[in-house]
A and B are shown apart, each in its own frame.
Chain A
Amino acid sequence: MQFMLLFSRQGKLRLQKWYVPLSDKEKKKITRELVQTVLARKPKMCSFLEWRDLKIVYKRYASLYFCCAIEDQDNELITLEIIHRYVELLDKYFGSVCELDIIFNFEKAYFILDEFLLGGEVQETSKKNVLKAIEQADLLQENMKDKGYHFIMQGINDAHLQEKVE
């Protein structure tokens, strides 16, 4: 896999992970072009796109688009399942995940992604194992008894909840 992008229906980037070295300029250009192309596609169209010499596999979950770039010889269908498994992982971790969870805890979303995909390859396919690894690292948080941090997290979570209620 070459890269993975998450963006909203409005075209706002929510998460980006690049597995190939590219300059910032290129990254921006690619992101802009891809977001436009994907958003322009109709709902019943194919989930795959040929884009330059890459294959783009995308899927929409609620208001978020998950978009992966793979090479020609890679399997498009399994890439769709990679996306799905990632969504499943997010869902399990956050408990019925929504776009806001990813906005507010995007570093968590990255941590989960890094446990699932490493260097563009699937690292661990067992849902249990991925979440175990994340929880292990998260547990440290509890042990740290970092009150200041908790305070902030509490604040953000409150705002988050408030947003959800609204």
Chain B
Amino acid sequence: MPEAPRSGQPAPKGPNWEQADWTPPEEEKLIQQELSNLKAAVSAPTTTLKMMKECMVRLIYCEMLGYDASFGYIHAIKLAQQGNLLEKRVGYLAVSLFLHESHELLLLLVNTVVKDLQSTNLVEVCMALTIVSQIFPQEMIPAVLPLIEDKLQHSKEIIRRKAVLALYKFHLIAPNQVQHIHIKFQKALCDRDVGVMAASLHIYHRMIKENSSGYKDLTGSFVTILKQVVGGKLPVDFNYHSVPAPWLQIQLLRILRLLGKDDQRTSELMYDVLDESLRRAELNHNVTYAILFECVHTVYSVYPKSELLEKAAKCIGKFVLSPKINLKYLGLKALTYVIQQDPTLALQHQMTIIECLDHPDPIIKRETLELLYRITNAQNITVIVQKMLEYLHQSKEEYIIVNLVGKIAELAEKYPFVLVLNTVDTYAPDNAWFIQTMNAVFSVGGDVMNPDIPNNFLRLLAEGFDDETEDQQLRLYAVQSYLTLLDVENVFYPQRFLQVMSWVLGEYSYLLDKETPGEVITKLYKLLMNDSISSETKAWLIAAVTKLTPQAHSSNIVERLIQEFTVSLDTCLRQHAFELKHLHENAELMKSLLPVNKSCEDMVVDASLSFLDSHVAEELSQGAAPYKPHHQRQEEKLSQEKVLNFEPYGLSFSSSGFTGRQSPAGISLGSDISGNSAEIGLKETSSLKLEGIQKLWGKEGYLPKKESKTGDETEAPPVSQESIIENVDPTISKKDPSQVLAQSKEEKEKQLLASSLFVGLGSESTVNLLGKADTISHKFRRKSKVKEAISGEKTNAHNMTRSSFSSPTNVTYEEDYYLDNLRDRRDKELEKFALSAELLGSESLAEPPLVEKLSECRRPAPSLFADDMEVFHPPRSTSASLAGESSLASLLEETTEHMHSDLTEVCNTETMSLSSYKIWKDDCLLMVWLVSNKSGSELEGVNLEIAPAENFKITEQPGCCLPIIEAENTKNFQYSVQMEKPFTEGNLSGFINYQMMNTHAVQLEFSVNLSLLDFIRPLKISTEDFGKLWLSFANDVKQNVKMSESQAALPSALKTLQQKLRLHVVDIIGSEGLLACQLLPSIPCLLHFRVHGDVLALWFRSSCSTLPDYLLYQCQKVMEGS
């Protein structure tokens, strides 16, 4: 028996193995020797467990070096079973390294794991849990599941943590088996130990990824946890280079990203913490960048918030501009994520992107191409595809080639008729480009690319595009280029490429006028005789020859071909040859069967294969899966992969109604339209965001480029020949050419490249903002309709009025009564106001509150009808209600001093109805909720509570606080609301509790929308003060807004701003206006505006950085909306 290895003299893992100059043959000899020793040792009955442990370590090492140690696997399991703690530990380690999940030997381990899980020794339990989390046979999960569930309550956090991770593993391999313990995951999430909580996040991330809608209610918890982590509330142990728990932060950010995607409500919950994360991560350490990257990704994935997007964009800038290559790479990666939402970012960083395109590190280059791929449009396609082809020719790795070839083909097929600027400065469709690009794709991609690429290409070519003559030229060019390629000697093309060629030649050789079909057949015949060509390709070639035969004059070669292939050993080829032979004998049949250029026309065949229907029905009834066509399967597969936007970006085109493939006529029309004055206004609006960046960059890219174009044609490097300059704005290109000459040639080349790459981007800059939900304006519109209805009917009979009042708001009789009461008072007030307005005479200079009142409040019903109300009033009882009434009366008295909104019902039941309205007080927003009891008995324990909201400070106003509402009575709750941080829209939610006599308690939830405008008040200052304030404010925002026709004049614009936004008109000077407002409690904001035709140039300034943006947004809404 050989000696136990541990006493073997030269230690097999001795140091001399590791010397760099160690020669492999000697190493191999040594290890083979060692392995045979080990083999003998492990199977010898005298080997103790102690020795076995050492053997295992050596076996692991040998296997790592690439030698087969499978004979030891069973002994590793034995060691885990029988050994003492130390030996067990090595045994488990060896098992985890040797075996994989579905290895049959693993079943032998289950009993050991079960035993160890029940052990009283912590270390044993830990080992068992560790192995379960790494590899465990799926079918044996039920055997250990209850034991592991028990461990979730273990007193040691390490056990709880490992148990959670084991369950995570189970969830990965068999999610249905752990379905029932979701509630326990929740407990793990709330665990007092950070490690256990962090472990549970893995499970939640997974589950939320699969079904985000099921876990929305946990958003608040995740936000709270993240807030605590970011705020440094965790034990210092979890800090990593003084950054609190970065792994935890990243995991939470990922979860929030999934939860907030396309969900405004959920997203709003996380804005604050995202903002804080962006702010906190300022330390210049890799790990903070890791968090920042994740945070930026989340900000761009959740429902957009402009303020955050702005900050995130700045962060991306930090990455992109970093000298550290890792950060630069991530910057590019981040850009590829966000570029679809914000193409202007690509413009901002275009010079960096250009530099990265020529970066010595291929990975940077590749990521840059990925980025360019996503900003491709009809105008920059040629340049981008050229760059991609350059990279393609350099790469050797198959995966990269397949990937890149697919992308190029996709782009080329999307824009087959790109416009290339030719020598006489006109745009012409260049069919050569498409064919040449595809030739490159086929010759490089060859036989590894996705088979859909050649199929799609042939389909496109056959079906053609919009213009028949274009199609013919394209086909002709294809035929010519293939013939040229085939003429080249000693070049081997991939089989797929040859197949494409043979199909095209077979179909479209008739377009040639120089070469005869006979010559084409000769070339095809030469290929057929080539041994390196596969029989599949040969079948394609014979098919092509068959198609060409009826057109050919002489048939010598065809006959030779028939002769040769009718005796071919390949049955498929032989069949083709026989077909050809028979057709060739019957020329008439052949001509009718193979008509020229009819590949797209339908043959009369039973395409539905109806004769198979009964068979299909039978199969289906027996449980067969319904047939899915190939493309559908493909799509399903694709949809699981990276989602790409295949739409082109050129907004200027899509707005003119051009989509998809563009005919040359369409393009020229497009540029005509954009030269139109009506379009200029629109373009100004959309490109305005660029102003903040640099004056040098315009919508079409780098502006001086156009100068070089117009100024010095010959100096332009060759790139410009291929680049397309779309919509060159003559006003922009007239600039001083000397500036251009000063630039170095290299710089200029880069800029030329930049302008050709980034052409057509950036026109979507305002799309995000405008895409936001626009509930407020709808509300306004609805109201005005109600108003009309009311004013139209106010002279009608009383019951008519009543119905028109009650139907839109659904208020109860009782409330109607108060409302009418209110209307009565307001009526008088308004009369006064109207009078004063008339006295003032000038519409535009009237005080905003007045106009506001006129527009916002309901028209009062004639007091005559209000007096009649008693008739309809249901019987009421006694003193309590009187008290209620009086308090309400006092409230209404108060409200008359201020503007207030309509009464809207927020929720109701059979017994109770809750309505609310807003009172825009000078110093705050007063929210009033009216609870009315509709039933005949009293409501008890009435309690209304408003949930604390993040952006608001809410204070309850003292009012009537009796928790009882008598039958048919109403009481009100008042809350004053202050805004703590500017935002566009927010939600105030709360609930109301009550109890009917002798029944159970009821709780109803409700919520009210609040808008920024609820907190905007006019700021009455003089022109002089305006001037002083204007200079002292640092935050400004400029934007041009196109007005709807109805408002295209100064007075009407002014009126709109005054009424809808509650701005105070400070002064009017010619076509310019000065307005001022304040955000409660006291953040001023000033607006200067000027009217040019139908464009309103707005300029906001404020001491608060975000307020101008929000106001601008509201402004745009009212100016464009109405």
Contacts and interface: CB of A to CB of B under 8 A. Distances in A.
Interface string A1-32: 00000001010111111100110000010000
B64 A16 contact: yes
B399 A146 contact: no
Contact of B364 (A46, A52, A100): A46
B158 A129 contact: yes
B169 A48 contact: no
A61 to B, nearest CB: 15
Nearest to B16: A163
Nearest to B327: A77
A111 B329 CA distance: 33
Interface in A140-155: 140-141, 144, 146, 148-149, 152, 155
Interface string B625-646: 0000000000000000010000
Given A118-B130, A152-B54, A126 B237 contact: yes
Interface in B102-123: 102, 122-123
A55 to B, nearest CB: 10
Interface in B213-255: 235, 237-238, 240, 245-248, 250
A39 interface: no
B240 A125 contact: yes
Nearest to A163: B15
Contacts of B65: 12-13
Nearest to B51: A148
B581 interface: no
Given A81-B287, A107-B60, A48 B246 contact: no
A101 interface: no
A133 B86 CA distance: 14
B507 interface: no
Given A12-B18, A44-B325, A140 B250 contact: no
Given A77-B286, A140-B85, A128 B237 contact: yes
Nearest to B243: A81
B479 interface: no
B165 interface: yes
B57 A107 contact: yes
B238 A76 contact: no
A127 B247 CA distance: 13
Contacts of B822: none
Nearest to B64: A13
A22 B100 contact: yes
Contact of A78 (B86, B194, B198, B250): B250
B782 interface: no
B293 A124 contact: no
B247 A45 contact: no
Given A46-B361, A52-B399, A110 B158 contact: no
A125 B245 contact: yes
Nearest to B361: A45
B141 to A, nearest CB: 14
Contacts of A76: 326, 329-330, 333
A7 B84 CA distance: 32
Nearest to B122: A136
Contact of B61 (A46, A106, A126, A162): A106
Interface in B1-52: 6, 11, 13-15, 18, 20, 50
B195 interface: yes
Interface string B128-163: 001001100000000000000000000000100110
Interface stretch (B89-97, B182-190, B1081-1089): B89-97
B259 to A, nearest CB: 16
B1026 interface: no
Given A118-B162, A152-B54, A48 B363 contact: yes
Contact of A45 (B15, B64, B66, B325): B325
B168 A121 contact: yes
Contacts of A140: 85-86, 123
A150 to B, nearest CB: 11
Nearest to B251: A122
Contacts of B754: none
B246 A78 contact: yes
Given A126-B238, A159-B14, A48 B123 contact: no
Interface string A99-118: 11001101100110010001
Given A12-B18, A118-B134, A21 B102 contact: yes
A36 B192 CA distance: 46
B977 interface: no
Contact of A46 (B20, B102, B326): B326
B433 interface: no
A80 B57 CA distance: 29
A52 to B, nearest CB: 5
Interface string A32-55: 000000000000111111111100
A129 B245 CA distance: 14
A162 B16 CA distance: 12
Given A121-B168, A146-B50, A159-B15, A46 B325 contact: yes
B700 interface: no
B559 interface: no
Contact of A50 (B54, B90, B250, B366): B366
B1076 interface: no
B60 A106 contact: yes
Contacts of B122: 136
A118 B133 contact: yes
A159 B13 CA distance: 11
B199 interface: yes
Contact of A119 (B13, B102, B133, B194): B133
A81 B84 contact: no
Nearest to A57: B326
A48 B326 contact: yes
Interface in B534-556: none
Nearest to B285: A81
B293 A127 contact: no
A137 interface: yes
Nearest to A6: B64
A149 B325 CA distance: 48
Contacts of B13: 103-104
B290 A77 contact: yes
B819 to A, nearest CB: 56
Given A107-B57, A148-B50, A50 B287 contact: no
A137 B161 contact: no
A21 B101 CA distance: 7
B202 interface: yes
B86 A50 contact: no
A156 interface: yes
A46 B329 contact: yes
Interface in A37-94: 44-53, 72, 75-78, 80-81, 85
B165 A127 contact: no
A157 interface: no
A119 B247 contact: no
Interface string B277-290: 00000000011011
Contact of B11 (A51, A123, A156): A156
Contact of A81 (B61, B96, B195, B286): B286
Contacts of A163: 15
Contacts of A49: 363
Interface of A: 8, 10, 12-18, 21-22, 28, 44-53, 72, 75-78, 80-81, 85, 99-100, 103-104, 106-107, 110-111, 114, 118-119, 121-129, 133, 136-137, 140-141, 144, 146, 148-149, 152, 155-156, 159-160, 162-163
7 contacts: A17-B97, A76-B329, A78-B287, A106-B64, A107-B57, A107-B90, A118-B133
List 5 tightest A-B contacts by C-beta distance, closest first. Answer: A77-B290, A126-B237, A78-B290, A21-B100, A163-B15
Interface of B: 6, 11, 13-15, 18, 20, 50, 54, 57, 60-61, 64-66, 84-86, 89-90, 93, 96-97, 100-102, 122-123, 126, 130, 133-134, 158, 161-162, 165, 168-169, 172, 194-195, 198-199, 202, 235, 237-238, 240, 245-248, 250, 286-287, 289-290, 293-294, 325-326, 328-330, 333, 360-361, 363-364, 366, 399-400, 642
